[in-house]
Amino acid sequence: MAGIFYGIGVGPGDPELLTLKAVSVIREADVIIAPKTEKKEDSVALSIAAPYVKENVQIVKLVFPMVSDSDTLSEAWEYNKNVIVDLLKAGKKVIFLTLGDPMFYSTYIYVFRLLENCGYPIETIPGVPAFCAIGSKLGYPLVEGNDILSIIPATASPDKVDKALSVTDNVVLMKVYKNVNDIVDKLHQHNLSGQAVMISRCGLPEEEVICDLDSLKGRKINYLSTILSRRG
């Protein structure tokens, strides 16, 4: 059997929101690469997929340093590449799980680049991004008609966030746990606070929905929190 590598989006949290394709690949997997990073969502991805993982699957834990830390990066990533390529050489079906969609703000993007030219086939299976699940859950249209939707990480530079907020009609603000006070102020400034709503851990235990943005100020915000908003 020839080795093959899969990047799989497991969706936003509910195991019923995996695609049929994701489930059938997970059921057949020999090895799951489980990243050990600061990004807490990675272990969440494995727990979401757990109902479909076969009993005797091999779990390989690897440390994928954040790409901003370029010193330790190349060494650790080269090591990871060798580990994965050895598994592929041995004919294994190796999978990498991602919360939401694999091509959308995920560690998988770097894993994909690392393996892209390694001589083994790679298949990426898209998933439902968290913001889509949030829209459906809340009955909150994400974008309609000829409107523009911008997906903005609150960790982008304040100037860039301001510029993007000033031109968009609808917004999905991600990673808001780091600077929620500033983000709430910016939404007020740009006339984007009136219909804003924050949801934490959508579809997971301890889910929380907050419509009064000002009540977020000074609070500790869960890592998996997103704000939806639209102009007006």
Please state, in angstroms and rounded to a whole number, the distance separating the CA atoms of residues 47 and 55: 14
Q: Contact between 21 and its own copies (CB under 8 A)? A: yes
Q: How many CB atoms lie within 10 A of CB 93?
A: 18
Please state, in angstroms and rounded to a whole number, the distance separating the CA atoms of residues 12 and 135: 12
**74 forms bridges with which residues in the sheet?**
none
Question: Of the candidates 4, 13, 18, 230, which one interacts with its own copies according to CB under 8 A?
Answer: 18
Report in angstroms how near the CB of residue 179 gets to its own copies at its nearest.
12
Task: Determine the size of the site formed for its own copies (CB under 8 A).
Answer: 59
Stretch of 31-39, 141-149, 189-197, 211-219 lying at the interface with its own copies (CB under 8 A):
141-149
Which C-beta is closer to its own copies: that of 163 or that of 215?
A: 163
CB contact at 8 A, 17 and 128: yes
Please state, in angstroms and rounded to a whole number, the distance separating the CA atoms of residues 173 and 195: 13
Tokens of 57: 């699957």
Which C-beta is closer to its own copies: that of 162 or that of 214?
A: 162
Please state, in angstroms and rounded to a whole number, the distance separating the CA atoms of residues 103 and 231: 27
CB contact at 8 A, 121 and 211: no
Which C-beta is closer to its own copies: that of 78 or that of 144?
A: 144
Question: Of the candidates 24, 181, 191, 215, which one interacts with its own copies according to CB under 8 A?
Answer: 24
Q: Contact between 136 and its own copies (CB under 8 A)? A: yes
Tokens of 119: 């001589």
Phi and psi (nearest 5°) for 91?
85, 20
Stretch of 79-87, 126-134, 191-199, 207-215 lying at the interface with its own copies (CB under 8 A):
126-134
Q: Contact between 104 and its own copies (CB under 8 A)? A: yes
Q: Contact between 7 and its own copies (CB under 8 A)? A: yes
Contact residues: its own copies, CB under 8 A? 7, 9, 11-12, 14-21, 23-24, 67, 101-106, 109, 112, 116, 122, 124-129, 132-133, 135-137, 139-153, 155-157, 160, 163-164, 167-168
